[in-house]
Amino acid sequence: MLAIALASLFIALGFYRSQQVNPYVRDVLSLQGNREQGQAIFLMNCAGCHGEAAGGRVGPSLHDLSNRRSRVSIIQQVISGETPPMPQFQPSAQEMADLLSYLETL
C-alpha cells in the first residue's frame, strides 16, 4: 500500500516537474510558426547534417520527428547542444516556432 502511494507521488512530482517549462520554451510554444520561414531556417542551419530533404546524412532523418518527440523535446534538442556532434543553436523564439512548424510537416 505504501509502495503504491509512493509510486503515485513520484509520478505526480514527475508530471509537475515536466510542466515547469523555461521561459524561452514557453515563448516558442505561444507563437504561431511560419512553415516557409522554418524551411529557410532549416536549409541554412540544419540541412548540412540532416540533408536538404531532412532524410539524414551525418545527422539522423527528421521525417516523422513530431510523431516521435514532443515539441518541448525538439526545442530542447535544438538549443542544448548536448548531443554531439549537433551544435548548440539558439534561434529567436519566432525562428524556433517557424522551425517547429516546418519540422511538423516532415
10 found inside a domain? no
45 found inside a domain? yes
CATH code for position 51: 1.10.760.10
Cα 33 versus chain centre, distance: 13
Of the candidates 101, 99, 105, 106, the one whose C-alpha atom is nearest the C-alpha of residue 40 is: 99
pLDDT of residue 15: 45
pLDDT of residue 2: 54
Report the C-alpha gap between 41 and 90 in whole angstroms: 12
pTM of the predicted structure, to 2 decimals: 0.79
Provide the domain count of the chain.
1
Report the C-alpha gap between 57 and 72 in whole angstroms: 24
pLDDT of residue 59: 92
Residues 6+ apart with CB under 8 A from 78: 89, 91, 96, 99
pLDDT of residue 1: 57
Report the C-alpha gap between 4 and 52 in whole angstroms: 49
- Could you read off the pLDDT tens digit of each residue along the chain, which spans 106 residues? 555 554 554 454 554 444 567 999 999 999 999 999 999 999 999 999 999 999 999 999 999 999 999 999 999 999 998 888 888 888 999 999 999 999 999 9
5 found inside a domain? no
3 found inside a domain? no
pLDDT of residue 8: 52
Which residue range forms the structural domain that includes residue 61?
A: 23-103
